[in-house]
Structure 1
Amino acid sequence: MNIVIAGGHGQIALRLSRLLAARGDTVLSIIRNPGHAGDVRDTGAGPVVCDLESAGLGEVADHLTGADAVVFAAGAGPGSGVARKDTVDRAASVLTADAAERAGVPGFVQISAMGAGERSAPGRGEVWEAYLRAKGEAEDDLKRRDALEWLILRPGRLTDDPPTGLVTLAEPPIGHDVVTRDDVAAVIVALLDARDVRRRTLDLLNGPTRIADAVAALRPALGGGRPE
Structure 2
Amino acid sequence: MTDDTRDKLIDAALMHVPFDGWTETSFRAAIEDSEVDPTVAKALFPRGAVDLALAFHKRGDEAMIAKLKEADLSGMRFRDKVAFAVRTRIKAAEDREAVRRGTTLFSLPPYAPDGAKAIWGTADAIWTTLGDTSDDVNWYTKRATLSGVYSSTVLYWLGDDSIDSQATWDFLDRRIDDVMKIEDAKARINKNPVLSRLMAVPNRLGAAIKPPRKRDDLPGQMRSDQV
TM range (shorter): under 0.3
Choose between structure 1 and 2: higher helix proportion. 2
Please tell me whether Structure 1 or Structure 2 has the larger radius of gyration of its CA atoms: 2
TM-score norm. by structure 1 comes to 0.27
Choose between structure 1 and 2: higher strand proportion. 1
